[in-house]
A and B are shown apart, each in its own frame.
Chain A
């Protein structure tokens, strides 16, 4: 009896230990499986983020390039428009310089130029040009380009802004 009991006890204890080890092994297997899944998910997320970032950067580059191209096209068109308007304005001035209105405007320009010469106005040299005159003080202290073309050139930066603004309003 004593032997039989002993064997029984030993078998029971052995079965218990076997169950415990099996449970430990299962738990370890589940832990390893879970850890692998987390690792896999992290790696997948990282890969997706990297891919998304690359695509986003590529898209941004495309947008910047397209915007730059559009801006270049717009500036080129603007430049051509301004060149045409400037050329037309200059030709109009040359054509109209000989009319009564043109002559009156030239007279006003020369008179204004003379107001800046002070006492030197009395000996000023007025040299006729196609669209006005050059007015040089007798003492050579100042030389004024009192031509309609000269005025156009000096006022062109402001006029150009107005031309562009009006063109944009018409679009």
Chain B
């Protein structure tokens, strides 16, 4: 069944008006303290829990809950048989599971693992909180099995495969494979824009992995990490980039094939900083989708653009929160927001 986008697109446009305006974001970026930030967020309809109200944890939780509510309101406007909400939620689950794996491997605190994650029906707030408390990656995987999450068994097998610490890169690959399978299934019925979006996601995931492999000294064969289903980055080009010897050399090899997605320059610019690259790619994809939404208002672009804008808002709010927490001067915080806008 081909997805119909009229109703969710209309809802996405409506929900888009709930996103914070440039003026509100500017005020938040220069808020003198957490109390001022909470006041501004609540004036914009983002409710901060009473418990620990003026602490970063409570503010983070309020932001996460608000984003989850908005996504669920959007999802209700798809038909029961549409795979699109599953794709949107699976993308969030993928980010959450990666954070859980990395957090457990690094021994990060539960709070740090939850930063910026958006709960979904398959990984609701309480489950995320419980996952974040697990001391080891195998415990995270075991809990996912108990929760009957479709990725639980695969992750538990991968995490238990070695006697020593599990390989984080390999576990993340399992997460990406699971997401790619769901995304491709959803894309097959979602129309041209959704198909292109998924293909681009796979290409960018492969590029990201190639950069990490090129910068690491792993002995594992690069081919094992390649995800099928992309559009412009072939397995051979991926393999060559992964063996380039450094992230910068890899980015130079990847920039050509990925120029078709309009992100070749970003790869070169941020090759050494994956976090910055992720943010830059998010902004680039958001801009491209907003343009696509104007050209094809009945396709998937308005919904996808809204979802990326919501994610970008969570990232920006998190950045504001860190700035206050670290005592960064307001002018510097505002400048950092401008750079990422």
Contacts and interface: CB of A to CB of B under 8 A. Distances in A.
Given A104-B106, A108-B108, A116-B332, A155 B326 contact: no
A1 B53 CA distance: 120
B112 A144 contact: no
Interface string B308-341: 0000000000010011111111001101100100
B27 interface: no
A141 B336 CA distance: 13
A103 to B, nearest CB: 8
Nearest to B55: A158
Given A142-B329, A162-B54, A112 B322 contact: yes
Interface size class of B (residues with CB under 8 A): 20 to 34
Chain A interface secondary structure, helix, strand, loop or mixed? Answer: helix
Contacts of B323: 116
B236 interface: no
A141 B335 CA distance: 12
B33 A157 contact: yes
Contacts, number: 80
Given A158-B53, A159-B55, A145 B327 contact: yes
Contact of A144 (B33, B51, B327): B327
Contact of A154 (B53, B275, B327, B332): B327
B56 interface: yes
A150 B319 CA distance: 18
A104 B108 contact: yes
A101 B51 CA distance: 24
Given A104-B106, A162-B52, A118 B112 contact: no
Given A157-B33, A158-B55, A162-B53, A142 B108 contact: no
Interface string A90-107: 000000000011011101
Contacts of B107: 100-101, 103-104
A19 to B, nearest CB: 91
Given A118-B339, A150-B326, 13 more contacts: A104-B106, A104-B109, A107-B106, A112-B322, A115-B322, A116-B323, A118-B335, A144-B327, A146-B326, A154-B325, A158-B34, A158-B54, A159-B52
Interface of A: 100-101, 103-105, 107-109, 111-113, 115-116, 118, 141-142, 144-146, 150-151, 154-155, 157-159, 161-162
13 contacts: A104-B107, A105-B112, A115-B275, A115-B336, A116-B332, A116-B333, A142-B328, A146-B326, A157-B33, A158-B34, A158-B35, A159-B54, A162-B54
